[in-house]
């Protein structure tokens, strides 16, 4: 085993995902701390075009094949696994995502590497690597000393700064040859399902009013809608609200939904499950309202209030209306 750090890059619909840059930034830091190299594993069809963005790395392994055009865990794992075993890096960084999470388990048992998920902090210290992961809905953190062997670590998107991964550089690019017909995968891509055409693209709205279970029932959504109308914004929601059918899928914020970074995110009755936080914690200003003072949303919010959203909203709406009228006159 050497001291290198390998990052498995992720791309979707023709673009490298932000998690890739987060991992690059953190991977570079840890590789330097260990005295090893940062290597990026890049699979795709025509993946070569991404190499220019991978300046943070020392080396890039590119494997191109039609089977890699879309992410299929089977295909990727059967290729990455043997390569990793051969290279024996210290650390393999993945995103805790639709891509990375699939690979994490498969690679762990196929290659015999220990693995850790939901990582939010990572550092190298005197040759050892210490990772902190979140569990129990973000209510508890676990600090783990990684074993002295090749270990896979999946990081929660939004944990590391992507800017640190967007540096210019000139990595060595090694093209790996993929024999035709390889890899033989028992899972085949059929098609991409687009989200239903939405009325609003919430990723482009500067003020978002987020609603969660604390709003209690669909009728109360009108309060959120009134507020967002008064502020010229849009209503979005956490997963449970979407699952109930109160709002369409395009309004879902979180791991499986949209990732938003508005100027203002108002969270009403949202407890702050990690999956949701992932989608909005990078908002410029977050004001959270929840009746539970221990709600995890308060750990990412800039301002918080412990009060029933249903009591607060009518008053807030009135206040905004009054101020708007004063401003107009």
Q: Report the site for other proteins in 107-126 (rule: CB under 8 A).
A: 107-110, 114-118
The secondary structure element, H or E, covering residue 85 is helix 73-87
Under the criterion CB under 8 A, does residue 176 sit at the interface with other proteins?
no
Under the criterion CB under 8 A, does residue 218 sit at the interface with other proteins?
yes
Query: Of these, 181, 191, 204, 329, which contacts other proteins (CB under 8 A)?
Result: 191
Q: Report the site for other proteins in 54-113 (rule: CB under 8 A).
A: 70-74, 97-98, 101-110
Shortest distance, CB of residue 256 to other proteins, whole angstroms?
5
Instruction: Map tokens 């093209």 to a residue.
Output: 175
Q: What are the beta bridge partners of residue 40? A: 7, 60
Buried b (16+ CB within 10 A) or exposed e, 130-156: ebbbbeeebeeeeeeebeeebbbbbbb
Shortest distance, CB of residue 135 to other proteins, whole angstroms?
6
Shortest distance, CB of residue 329 to other proteins, whole angstroms?
14
Which part of the chain contacts other proteins (CB under 8 A), choosing from 45-53, 58-66, 165-173, 243-251?
Answer: 243-251
C-alpha to C-alpha distance for 165 and 90, rounded to whole angstroms: 19
# residues contacting other proteins (CB under 8 A)? 105
> What DSSP letter does each residue of 137-185 carry, written as one string?
GGTEEEEEE--SS-EEEEE-TTSS-GGGG------EEEEEP--TT-S--
Q: Report the site for other proteins in 24-53 (rule: CB under 8 A).
A: none
Please choose, from the candidates 177, 44, 30, the residue with its C-alpha nearest in 3D space to the C-alpha of residue 89.
30
Query: Of these, 1, 161, 175, 187, which contacts other proteins (CB under 8 A)?
Result: 187
Shortest distance, CB of residue 169 to other proteins, whole angstroms?
28
């Amino acid at each position: 085993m050497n001291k290198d750090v390998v990052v498995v890059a992720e791309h979707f619909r023709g673009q490298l995902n932000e998690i890739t840059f987060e991992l690059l930034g953190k991977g570079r830091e840890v590789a330097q701390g260990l005295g090893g190299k940062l290597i990026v594993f890049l699979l795709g069809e025509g993946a070569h075009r991404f190499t220019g963005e991978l300046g943070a790395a020392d080396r890039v392994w590119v494997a191109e094949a039609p089977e890699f055009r879309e992410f299929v865990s089977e295909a990727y794992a059967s290729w990455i696994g043997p390569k990793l075993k051969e290279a024996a890096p210290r650390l393999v960084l993945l995103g805790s995502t639709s891509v990375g999470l699939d690979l994490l388990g498969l690679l762990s048992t196929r290659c015999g590497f220990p693995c850790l998920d939901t990582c939010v902090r990572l550092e190298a210290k005197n040759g050892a690597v210490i990772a902190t992961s979140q569990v129990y809905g973000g209510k508890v953190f676990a600090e783990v000393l990684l074993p002295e062997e090749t270990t896979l670590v999946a990081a929660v998107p939004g944990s590391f700064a992507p800017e640190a991964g967007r540096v210019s550089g000139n990595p060595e690019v090694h093209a790996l040859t993929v024999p035709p017909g390889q890899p033989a995968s028992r899972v085949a891509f059929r098609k991409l399902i687009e989200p239903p055409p939405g009325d609003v693209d919430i990723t482009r709205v500067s003020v978002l009013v987020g609603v969660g279970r604390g709003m209690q029932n669909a009728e109360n959504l009108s309060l959120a809608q009134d507020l967002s109308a008064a502020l010229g914004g849009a209503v979005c929601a956490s997963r449970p609200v979407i699952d109930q059918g109160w709002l369409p899928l395009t309004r879902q914020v979180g791991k499986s939904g949209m990732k938003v970074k508005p100027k203002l995110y108002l969270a009403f009755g949202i407890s702050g499950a990690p999956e949701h936080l992932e989608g909005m914690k990078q908002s410029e200003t977050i004001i959270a309202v929840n009746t539970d003072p221990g709600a995890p949303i308060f750990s990412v919010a800039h301002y918080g209030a412990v009060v029933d959203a249903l009591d607060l909203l009518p008053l807030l709406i009135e206040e905004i209306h009054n101020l708007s009228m004063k401003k107009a006159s």
